[in-house]
A and B are shown apart, each in its own frame.
Chain A
Amino acid sequence: MNELATIDIDGPVATLVLNRPEQRNALSIELLDALHEQVDRLADAEGVVVTVITGAGRAFCAGMDLKQVIIDADAGGSGDPQLPRRLLSSLGRLTVKIRALPSVVVAKVNGAAIGGGCGLACVCDAVVTHADAKLGFPEVDLGLCPAVVAPWLVRKIGAGPARAVLLQGGVMRGERAGEIGIADIVCPDRDSLDAATAELVGRYTDSGAAALAATKSLLNDLDRSRDESVVLRGAELSAGVLATEQAQASLIARIK
């Protein structure tokens, strides 16, 4: 059993949990590797109609693990100049893999979904959250470029709104995320999230599994979701910006 990312399969419903709660499920290379492994398993899992992705603890996913994208080891970073690029391309490939899953994928955004974490939610077929959750893409505030997640946000809410969100940076409450279409279902509070998710999942599991899979596959085809090249180009762009002095200095300031 891989501890950083766990899968629980209960009949037609699989639950994939980001399980690094003490780091608010921040995406380290180890967590990304674990997620790849679990998503590969889900791609082959027979009889799974719905996959729910959620985070252990208070956060859904706080985004990239900042200590792994800082290069200078003396400043608390990894000391490995290649690590950020590997992280970003791994995240890019993971998003395409999640989108291509034959099951309907629901992001159960239990708490903060920031940057790459919010991107992971946008990849899913439906996003359920609560009014107090914090979602958003504060990359530009840190001198970073949200290039890997941008294609998914564009697909989720349209190119015009996506540009406004990504360039404004910051984070928003769940309610606002619902208004602009990042979240599909927004419960009034965290306590009602389980029930709201279960209700949506129930509608999927009551539906015809073949009909859902064929519809999802057609949508992936029509909106070019299987195109890995765009997220990999995004990863290159993002890694380039991340390596600049300006970005590194602002990341170091952030972890201090």
Chain B
Amino acid sequence: MIRVEDDGPVRIVTLDRPAKRNALTPGALDELARVFGAGTESSDCRAYLLRGTGRVFCSGFDLDLCRDDGPEQNIMRSFLEGLSRAILAMRSSDRPVVLAAHGAAIAGGCALLGGADVVVADRGAKLGYPVVRLGISPAVSAPFLLESAGAGATRRRLLDPALFDGAEGARIGLVHELVEGREDVGPRAHEIARSLAAKPALAMKATKKWAMEVGGEKKMPGRAGRALEASLSLVSGDEAVERLVGLWKK
């Protein structure tokens, strides 16, 4: 479901599963981690654009895949591990990542925003982390959301399963540029990615690296690891299993 193509110096990574609202699979997350972690030395890539086809950017994990998961919840585990790896790979890339969050970025889809350097969304986009309803912790997003939105908004948004709109996302610092319509998001994000790709490569590389370093990125793998642990510790507990099984009974 991940399509990768180069538009000159912009490497476009597309979630391409519109019939399932670009719901993520463990394989897709592995692929994202691979694409962003591959390094750019041997290519002309100067910037990434991450986007989705269809009505929305991404509706989160494809929970249908968990339907036949065993008591160990191995599929849910691979989802959470893959998500954490994909976000860290986006952040550690030496090229800037622009993300087009059009229409909706929910749960694991919203978590991907934590890996991007520049996030564009439409004013009415549906954002949020409604996973506590499933007995799952949105912990994986915590270290990244803390960085962009601060501790107050992070607490508010991770504990409350209610969705919020793109405008609120911009207010708290999760979204960096707002456009009016969902159809405007992709073109604007593409335009930003092109303009970043056209800037002097050495300066861009040094600036991303330094901005990450002064932002405390060295501590991030450790914090992300603790967050992943917190999330994994729940998945085979009674609450999560009961609530996930409840999904299929509806």
Contact = CB atoms under 8 A, between A and B. Distances in A.
A41 interface: no
Interface string A49-87: 000000000000000000000000000000000000000
B160 A200 contact: yes
Interface string B144-161: 001000111111101111
Interface stretch (A11-19, A109-117, A206-214, A232-240): A206-214
Interface in B196-249: 223, 226-227, 230-231, 233-234, 237, 239-240, 243
A209 B239 contact: yes
Interface in B126-168: 131-139, 142-143, 146, 150-156, 158-162
Which residue of B132, B133, B152, B156 has the most chain A CB atoms within 10 A of its CB atom? B152
Interface stretch (A23-31, A135-143, A150-158, A166-174): A150-158
Main secondary structure of the interface of A (DSSP, over half): helix
B240 A216 contact: no
Contacts of A214: 137, 139, 230-231, 233-234
A125 B159 CA distance: 8
Interface residues of B, number: 36
Interface stretch (A1-9, A32-40, A219-227, A247-255): A219-227
Chain A contact patch, size range: 20 to 34
A189 interface: no
Contacts of B131: 211
Interface in B166-209: 172
A218 B159 contact: no
Contacts of A219: 142, 146, 151, 154-155, 158
Given A217-B230, A219-B142, 6 more contacts: A126-B155, A210-B239, A214-B231, A215-B159, A216-B159, A218-B137
A154 B201 CA distance: 36
Nearest to A224: B151
A126 B146 CA distance: 16
A184 B131 CA distance: 20
B159 A204 contact: yes
A207 B132 contact: yes
